[in-house]
Amino acid sequence: MQVTFWGTRGSIAKAGPSTLRYGGNTSCVEVRSDAGTAIVIDCGTGAHALGQELLARGGGAPVDGHILISHTHWDHIQGLPFFAPLFEPGNNWHIYGPSGAGTSLSDILAGQMEYRYFPVSIQQLGANVDYHDLVEGVLDLGDIHIRTHYLNHPALTLGYRLEVDGATVVYASDHEPHDHDLAGGGSIEQNRHDDAHARFAVGADLLIHDAQYLSDEYADHLGWGHSTVEYVIDIARRAQVGQVALYHHDPLRTDDRVDELVQIAREYATATGYSGAVFAAAEGMTVDLRHAGRTSTTSGRESPAIRQPELPRRAGAVAIFALTPEVATVLNDAAVAEEFDVTLRHDLQAAFDIIRSEHPSVIVVEAVENAGADDGGFDLVAAIRALPAPYGMEVPVIMVGGASGRRRPDASETGITEWLVWPSSPFYVRTKLRAWHLRGTERWQNAPLTPDEDRRIASLHALDVLDTAPEDRFDRYTAEISALLDVPVALVSLVDTDRQWFKSRQGVDVAETPRDMSLCAHAIHGSDVLIVPDALADPRFADNPLVQGPSRFRFYAGMPLTLADGSRVGTLCVADNRPRQLNEVQLDELRRVAGLVVRELEAGVPLASHAQEPGT
């Protein structure tokens, strides 16, 4: 196996005389097996030179390969539009990476190539390119066996363990200690998440690890998602890796300062008993990993890392009233291009009926000249503003019309949010629609009541478990699922009228929270697991106090607790302080243990008693 560094810098490319020896390009590593399988790990600006080199090596023959994206922050994908093999017809490339919350990997990567940022769209790539969304698990690319592992970073991030030719390389960029105290050095075993991170790298011949900071710099960068050299050496010692490449160099760190960082790392390694080689990754450096006779650490229980992409999150809804065919077509096409759910009506009453029943997030009304009794669409605006609060007063209403008839948007008598002068370009219309939708998007949404709320509450109260003391028969299940899924928080959460109360809790101190803070109140609307890979990236939960407050929830998964009468009285839920996903094996475990919790809830409770409606 050959490992070559094409980009070693973190955060932003840093060209200049002070970065000549270690390089100024952002993250990109090439791995090639003896059989010729080519894998690119991350596609920062270093991917440009790698792409040129691959074409030169090919000599006109097809150049095929695989790209593993650790996460979609810019410094790890900004070289993708400049990676030449993707533009050559006849080449075949597969791109893999974590998709994030509710959006496919291909959509995320296409975002930086939108018309606003780049002259060539992702659809214009000449090569055959397939995209694959990944979770934790295993996959084989040619003769290379790969294991994925979630890292601790503000974005959903995967580390990669590659095994081929009897050798192993582990790539872990960007990662922060789970236990912040370990940034200054210490026993990795004291935190099970950091120890699991070490187990992911165990026995590797080469560990390429984010080492952006020194311990005395870490306090100013807490939560940024990067490691210290001291932590990296402790991981290497715990994992007994052969050698360590310090990686993801800070853009402010010159070549001379990288030299100092390496010296500090080596001195720390000597002092703590790590005997492997320690060096800083440098652009152009190649490391040959020859047959070391190591065996795979993959467990037979691990599931495939490739999963089908999540259904895309609904972008919102736009209601359009327009009589002029040209105006109607442009408005409709712009809304469709922005992936809104679009309702177009040419009749005022029909438009109002749709708005009143469906509550779209943006409304567009054409100001029709010489409209007669309907006042050119202003009657519709007035009717919208008369709808019950807060919707009627808060929904943005854009009026489309000529400059001569323009009305002041702040005039109280019109109720218009903005006047869009016609004619207008499709791109401009798209920008306006998206802007007004985003301005109105809540980043903390209370879950609505369930359709069977009265029966559900009656069934919950009939269980006679609310406000009872902790019991071993429930605590054993939260302890079990916490260990199985390697999560710090596991709860049996019962969703009451105005609160969620925890019959069992692992990893939290409080016994209950208000219902409007409850993620479980969203979960009970479905029959299967609700997964939130990254709460900060989900507009329903980003500003929720459980996410922004001391609990710092980033990941959530809740399986509804469904009684025999069909009532979903709560969830068995898990949470983590890092973004992540669950594979199918883990999902099945959550479902299985939730079924055992339901069995305990219903033990000794007559079926008829929790099927009654209030007052019956």
3 state DSSP class of 315: coil
Distance set, CA 236 to CA 62, 145, 246 (Å): 39, 21, 11
The more confident residue out of 434 and 469 is 469
Query: For the segment 475-505, what is each residue's pLDDT rounded down to a tens digit?
Result: 999 999 999 999 999 999 999 988 899 999 9
Q: Which domains does the chain have, with CATH numbers?
A: 2-293 (3.60.15.10), 317-440 (3.40.50.2300), 453-610 (3.30.450.40)
Query: For the segment 551-578, what is each residue's pLDDT rounded down to a tens digit?
Result: 789 999 999 999 999 999 999 999 999 8
Least confident of 361-365, 398-402, 437-441: 437-441
* 240 CB burial (10 A radius; 0-12, 13-18, 19+): middle
Query: For the segment 158-215, what is each residue's pLDDT rounded down to a tens digit?
Result: 999 999 999 999 999 999 998 889 999 999 998 878 998 999 999 999 999 999 999 9
The more confident residue out of 304 and 485 is 485
Is the pLDDT at 104 greater than 70, yes or no?
no
pLDDT at 291: 62
Rounded CA separation 160/595 (Å): 34
CA nearest 229: which of 244, 213, 240, 252?
A: 213
pLDDT at 613: 38
pLDDT at 148: 92
If DSSP states are collapsed to H, E and C, what string results for 539-580? CCCCCCHHHHCCCCCCEEEEEEEECCCCCEEEEEEEEECCCC
* 258 CB burial (10 A radius; 0-12, 13-18, 19+): buried
